[in-house]
Amino acid sequence: MCRMACSRNLGMRNQRYYGTSRENISLLLNDFTYSLKSMNQGCQMLQGQTLQSGAASLPHDSRPPLLDFFAGSGLVSHALRPYFREVWANDVCPKKAAVFHANHPNAPFCLCSITDVNGAGLPMSTLSWASFPCQDLSLAGVGKGIRGKRSGLVWEWLRVMDEMPQRPPILTAENVLGLMSANKGAYYRELHLALEERGYRIGAMLLDAIRWLPQSRPRIFVVAVDKRISLPQNLVDDAPNWTHPTVIRNIAADLPHWIWWRLPEPEQPTTRLSEIVDYSLPCQDEPTSKKNLAMIPPAHRRLLEQCGLAAVPGYKRIRNKKQVLELRFDEVAGCLRTPTGGSSRQYIVIKKKDGWRTRILSPREAARLMGAPESFQLPGTFNDGYKAMGDAVAAPVAAHLAKHILSPLAEVCHDAS
């Protein structure tokens, strides 16, 4: 399964597993448990059991199989669960793995770098999802682009797909808007052509979590499907639609095998930011709150006094070489980020009896902003929880895509096979 694991780190039980998977490429892994205790030993698959079967021989579960690459805390696996059954997931971060495991205790998860994954040993799958790292594509990044050290891991994903005995007929890649907009679209074009070369037809959509949740989180979702699959007419438009802003239309214009995916518009979100705030949590002490409140620009301070809201979110930013706490008053949080420094955490300014107080958004509130259910566990420290949610995929967005495009596509793929 993992090159690293196979060659160096696995015990006898896993060697047997790997050997079996090499002998019979159609083996499907089932019913793994993952030992957190041994995480530091690399890719650990304990109590692995191989079944000589494909999806069709698992009558108790007819959901098509899913590979969840860069699975992080597992919100994609969570969101797709009604439609797909994860047969394999991976991430390199032990803390994210802890969150994944807490929420998907029976899912096969490989704690390893994608650079150590050997596609030849992966279970056959209908869908392969990759929310690959965004740091080289995000506006805040250093802009190394799709060949950067971190975002360039998307090529490792494609290398793994190439190594599989049979590439999954559906691929989905998710990333920040920079994938499409940076470098005049050249990064996206390179990815598109690489998928096209491998026999896929491709379309990208911009889906902003704000259509589902009180968080502004625009993300690009690329959906590629095997060219040999005939697409149901109801999944495809003959012209751009609400998921295709100008940046996508312009790039798509001269790309081969482009698909205008048709996705129904979601209903209006019903939850407002002030409704996800936990008012029982302690705010920062008075001097710290005061210091933060003093950073609010005068125009925002006036709006704060007039807005009538119980809680207002904001980020600290540098403006004219000065740190300011900028607020927004539309009952929507700014895009959650992975905290690497103080400025990347989102603040909430909360109305108390004796005036305004500040605090950092809690991991549970962050989870609510990602559409995770209250039962979604966030083990570890405050920072671990916040980080786990900061670069996750908003669950209802992934679920909407799965329900209306990926699952119907998987059905067609199944019928065609």
Ligand X SMILES: C[S@@+](CC[C@H](N)C(=O)[O-])C[C@H]1O[C@@H](n2cnc3c(N)ncnc32)[C@H](O)[C@@H]1O
Nearest to ligand X of 72, 313 (CB atom): 72
Pick between residue 349 and residue 393 the one whose CB is nearest to ligand X. 393
Residues that bind ligand X (CB under 6 A): 70-73, 75-76, 90-93, 96, 113-115, 131, 133-134, 153, 391-393
Given the complex with ligand X, which of 75 and 312 has the nearer CB atom?
A: 75
Measured CA distances, 405 to 116, 172, 321, 408 (Å): 31, 11, 46, 6
Looking at beta carbons only, is 153 or 202 nearer to ligand X?
153
CB of 92 to ligand X, least distance (A): 4
Q: How far is the CB of 157 from ligand X (least distance, A)?
A: 9
Nearer to ligand X, 97 or 304 (CB): 97
- Compute the least distance from the CB of residue 128 to ligand X, in Å: 13
Q: Closer to ligand X by CB, 356 or 376: give it.
A: 376
To the nearest whole angstrom, how small is the minimum distance from the Cβ of residue 142 to ligand X? Answer: 16
| Shortest CB 144 distance to ligand X, Å | 14
The least distance separating ligand X from the CB of residue 131, rounded to whole angstroms, comes to 4
Chain residue at closest Cβ approach to ligand X: 72
